[in-house]
Amino acid sequence: MSSSTALPEWPPAMTPEQHAQLILLSSTYALSHGFTLLPPNSSQPPTSAIPAPLSLLPTPFPRGLYDLAVSLQPIYNALYARIALDWEFLDRVMGGSVSKVDTFQGELWRGWRQVRDELVQPIQLGVFRSDYLLHDSEGTGGMEVKQVEFNTIAASFGALSQRAGEMHRYLHKATNSYYSISPELSNASNFPANQPLKNIATGLAEGWKAYGNDEAVVLFVVQDGERNVFDQKWLEYELLEAHGIQAIRHTFSDLANLAQVDRSSKTLLLPSPLEPDSPPREVAVIYYRSAYTPTDYPSSSEWTTRLLLERSRAIKCPSMALQLAGAKKIQQVLCEPGVLEDFLLSPDRPDVGAGPLTQADVDRLRQTWIGLLPMDNSLLGQEAYTLATTHPERYVLKPQREGGGNNIYRENIPPYLKELEKEPRQAGEPEKKEAYILMELIEPPKGVSNWLVRGGENKARKADVVSELGVYGVMLFGGDDVVNNGAGTLLRTKGRESDEGGVAIGISSIDSPLLV
């Protein structure tokens, strides 16, 4: 689907007094409503917070393309659930060259292979986010929405995204429709309802209910020194206040000392270090906001702990199989002829709550894809290498990583590939480049600007911006009950000068869409 919607000239003009008032209102709203991050080098326990990076105005986004991305989420949920259940496919794709040349993915795949025949919990829970950019390949204003990646682990900013939308609606009300500086801002129906905090917490609660023990807790596995703690704490508060479910937080290093798995029942138990005489708490759901990057596993101890948790009866969000399903290599292989049809249209695939799907559904999904190529020695891989070295300005080289900051762009690709070729290899080991995929660059429309405020600053900078739309989904599968729902959206906006994002470091702002 293409949209010919012309984005309005943005941002609309305002007086210096209106600009200053918006900064004051947005910053105080953020601090008052937990739309916040911890400052760098915060003390523990924390004694202060700063507003999360924000935009003074919502950013225009074509309504039809927003609706398309939201409508596709249940189909994407079903697709990745079916991938996680297809062990033969995961073995073929992730157990091949990727596991041999990518140490992190190799450890993940070998660990999952080691424990998968011992698994006692068939139910899996996914909190997903499918990320998109607007694409204007011809510069004509005819736009499409193209998928950047699909996240199956630690899909963050759901709570803060809800707060961003609430902040922009508050500014709309508090300033008489943004001082009537724009017809788009004056129309309240252009501000879409968005409740990812509520919906993601409800998804975690569905996993807790499927586990079947009203006394059990939800475990958040978190990183040391996490600055995005409020995004996570809002989920904890929502679980407790809306569902009566207690959550506890631990890092991998905590769990190495605390986690116990009962030998007979395989229940995961966590004793309280503050109440040593009380019975340990049983864990119903393990929700990972960590474990997606090599730095989360500084030693073998963390991998040992991950395998211990995987063997337990707790429902994992995600399981190791579902984490593997989110790899970039999987995204690339799905582009090969017939693979998507097999997963979505084959009658032999398990029912995961998407309903009967048609070729039209497959075609709509595929319309959101940009060119993806392997970096192996197949004919297609050889073609990809030629394109990467002769026309690098059209591509991005992607490793099997989450969390941003790992990609190689444009003119940096050829010298990077040359450096990979110099790295030593064991006998029979694939070339290092096979750990990567080559992706055609998405070309966002030009001419859209906004006022961005870095966290903790009292001024805004006007920037030519690029906005990335994330669509959340919740998926519970593998048991008697299936949950397959969209769960709201996230808009991250950054200056066009930066290829990479990063909210905590101030490159991207948490934004909300203005539908036009």
> Of 306, 349, 454, 492, which residue is the catalytic one?
492
Residue 420 annotated as lining a ligand binding site: no
Task: Give CA separation, 365 vs 70, 337, 338, in Å.
Answer: 11, 14, 13
77 among known catalytic residues: no
Q: Specify the DSSP element, H or E, that contains 20.
A: helix 16-32
Task: Give CA separation, 300 vs 104, 225, 252, 310, 505, in Å.
Answer: 12, 20, 11, 15, 29
Closest C-alpha to 73, from 361, 286, 329:
361
Residue 316 annotated as lining a ligand binding site: no
Q: Residues 111, 307: contact at Cβ < 8 Å?
A: yes
> Of 100, 163, 311, 328, which residue is the catalytic one?
328
Residue 289 annotated as lining a ligand binding site: yes
Q: Residues 72, 368: contact at Cβ < 8 Å?
A: yes
> Of 130, 156, 190, 199, which residue is the catalytic one?
156
Angle at 313 between CA 309 and CA 316, to 5 degrees: 60
Residue 129 annotated as lining a ligand binding site: yes
300 among known catalytic residues: no
Residue 393 annotated as lining a ligand binding site: no
How many CA atoms are closer than 13 Å to the CA of 458, on its beta-carbon side? Answer: 4
241 among known catalytic residues: no
Residue 458 annotated as lining a ligand binding site: no
Residue 193 annotated as lining a ligand binding site: no
Residue 402 annotated as lining a ligand binding site: yes
> Of 282, 402, 434, 443, which residue is the catalytic one?
402
Residue 364 annotated as lining a ligand binding site: no
Alpha helix positions (H), 359-483: 359-366, 379-390, 413-422
Residues with Cβ within 8 Å of residue 11, at least 6 apart in sequence? 56, 57, 449, 450, 451, 462
> Of 403, 479, 495, 502, which residue is the catalytic one?
403
Residue 494 annotated as lining a ligand binding site: yes
State the DSSP code for 273.
Answer: S
Q: How far apart are CA 72 and CA 293, in angstroms?
A: 28
Identify residue 469 by its one-letter amino acid code.
L
Residue 328 annotated as lining a ligand binding site: yes
Peptide bond preceding 430 in cis form (omega within 30 of 0): no
Residue 190 annotated as lining a ligand binding site: no
Residue 6 annotated as lining a ligand binding site: no
Structure tokens at 203: 């998804």
3-state DSSP assignment of residue 281: strand
129 among known catalytic residues: yes
> Of 26, 55, 100, 129, which residue is the catalytic one?
129
Residue 398 annotated as lining a ligand binding site: yes
Residue 247 annotated as lining a ligand binding site: no
CB atoms near residue 391 (< 10 Å): 11
Strands 144-151 and 372-374: unpaired
> Of 3, 151, 182, 190, which residue is the catalytic one?
151
Residue 169 annotated as lining a ligand binding site: no
Residue 416 annotated as lining a ligand binding site: no
Residue 486 annotated as lining a ligand binding site: no
Residue 401 annotated as lining a ligand binding site: yes
> Of 144, 149, 282, 302, which residue is the catalytic one?
149
> Of 281, 398, 432, 454, which residue is the catalytic one?
398
Task: Give CA separation, 77 vs 222, 386, 483, in Å.
Answer: 24, 34, 10
Residue 297 annotated as lining a ligand binding site: no
Residue 503 annotated as lining a ligand binding site: yes
492 among known catalytic residues: yes
- Which residues sit in the known binding site for Mg(2+)? 149, 151, 402
Q: Which residues are annotated as a binding site for substrate?
A: 129, 153-156, 226-228, 232, 289-292, 492, 503-504
Residue positions annotated with a catalytic role: 129, 149, 151, 156, 328, 398, 402-403, 492
- Give binding residues as ranges: 129, 149, 151, 153-156, 226-228, 232, 289-292, 328, 398-407, 409, 439-442, 468, 492, 494, 500, 503-504
Residue positions forming the annotated binding site for ATP: 149, 328, 398-407, 409, 439-442, 468, 494, 500
